[in-house]
Amino acid sequence: MIRSPGDVRGLRIAHLIECDGPGGAEHVVVQLATTLQASGAQNVVFLPAHGEGWLARQLEASGVAVETFRLERPLSPACARSLVAAFRRRRIDVAHSHEFTMAVYGAWAAWRAGVPHVITMHGGPYYAGRLRRRLAMRAAVALSGCTVAVSTPLARKMSRDLWLRPSRIGMIPNGVRHVRPDRTSLRDELRLGPDARLLVSVGNLYPVKGHRHLIDALALLDGHHPSLHLAIAGRGEEADALAAGARARGLGDRVHLLGLRADVTAVLAAADIFVLPSLSEGLPLALLEAMFAGRPIVASEVGEVAVALAHGEAGVLVEPGDSAALATALDRLLSDPARARTLGERAARRAAAEYDVSRMVVRYVEAYETLLTRRPAVGPSRSAGSPARPTTGVAHS
């Protein structure tokens, strides 16, 4: 349940996302939809047909409905029409799209259906490299009642890229629902001895996540910390290259690629230090989960990471892509258990105060309610039998 600023019971919300794999934006959709559903709203998540199915599986038994769409080419009026029909059939009150592709199609369909629309951008603005995509994104923002980034740097970049006033892009940080693991068996799984130290990183194995720099840092630490291991939870295109790089540095038996894990909280609980070596981020959920777990953290100063870690008071910040700086920061924490413990405790307190999932959901509810008080919508049509829903007015996010 959420500590809502208004009554969400009966509110019909559509959530749209192009990918249904186990990524950060997908996790946010799951937590947002299921929390709202538990609070009495009616939620429908729109996913690609013939997708991976991960996100749909996370919604099983939650009461959240799932619909699929087909997007078989970059410009598909048929996809937009199918979304319009679904919005009308489901009598949707608010549509909420995540990331570039569904921001565009969701805005298009919501405008046609006369439904208020919210956009959330989670990571790097993937549209920025092509003028046509910038124009499409700018049009989507113009058709939408609220556009949100998950970090202040991302909001600023979107404002610059799309030639928009900064006030047009709001910011709502991500949140997570922390559940303590019953037990953790990762050290046994990896057959670590009692003197072994363990670094943990969580994130898909893509170049932007910076895992190569983390392996380089581990190699630099080899002389001082010969029993130091690294476990990376995630999957992706870099898996073979990372394994080969570890072997080339003589670290093949100390770098453990765990693949996709359903027990991330248990993986984090086994860590001596959590490491986020990303080259670019918004506000990664893995960081927040590590904070809730009370792990000492070393992280690249990207996106909203510095804010989350209170600018170094709740974790160590390093320049992205700097393996030597990463190694130095890790060495200092490994050599100073008392400081590591203090940082972990501060991170846990900050996570509980600022990044619980309920805070994120309340902020989105405020945005929904603000848009609903602005009815009637400006789109060309609104389905019969779906009147404006009375709500309490709240400040726009």
Residue-wise pLDDT tens digits, 136-170: 999 999 999 999 999 999 999 999 999 999 999 99
DSSP class of 74: S
68: amino acid identity, one letter: T
Contact 331, 224 (CB under 8 A): yes
Alpha-carbon span 318 to 141, nearest angstrom: 34
Strand 146-149 relative to strand 94-98, pairing: unpaired
Alpha-carbon span 160 to 247, nearest angstrom: 43
Tell if the pTM clears 0.75, that is, is over it: yes
Alpha-carbon span 352 to 350, nearest angstrom: 5
Residue 82 — left, alpha, or beta (φ > 0 → left; ψ -120 to 50 → alpha)? alpha
pLDDT of residue 393: 30
Alpha-carbon span 204 to 286, nearest angstrom: 11
Alpha-carbon span 16 to 26, nearest angstrom: 10
86: amino acid identity, one letter: A
% of the chain at pLDDT higher than 70: 92
Residue 211 has pLDDT above 60, yes or no: yes
Alpha-carbon span 40 to 347, nearest angstrom: 32
% of the chain at pLDDT higher than 90: 83
Residue-wise pLDDT tens digits, 318-377: 999 999 999 999 999 999 999 999 999 999 999 999 999 999 999 999 999 999 987 654
Residue-wise pLDDT tens digits, 179-189: 888 788 999 99
* Domains present along the chain, CATH in parentheses: 12-177+356-372 (3.40.50.2000), 186-354 (3.40.50.2000)
DSSP class of 94: E
Residue 227 has pLDDT above 50, yes or no: yes
In Å, what is the CA distance from 170 to each residue of 36, 150, 282, 321, 397?
Answer: 21, 9, 14, 29, 6
Residue 389 has pLDDT above 80, yes or no: no
DSSP class of 199: E
Residue 127 has pLDDT above 60, yes or no: yes
Residue-wise pLDDT tens digits, 88-124: 999 999 999 999 999 999 999 999 999 999 999 997 6
Alpha-carbon span 295 to 276, nearest angstrom: 12
pLDDT of residue 390: 35
CA 373 centroid distance within chain: 28
Instruction: Evaluate the omega torsion of the peptide bond into residue 376 and state whether it is cis, within 30 degrees of 0.
Output: yes
Residue whose entry in the numeric block shows the structure tokens 């789109």: 379
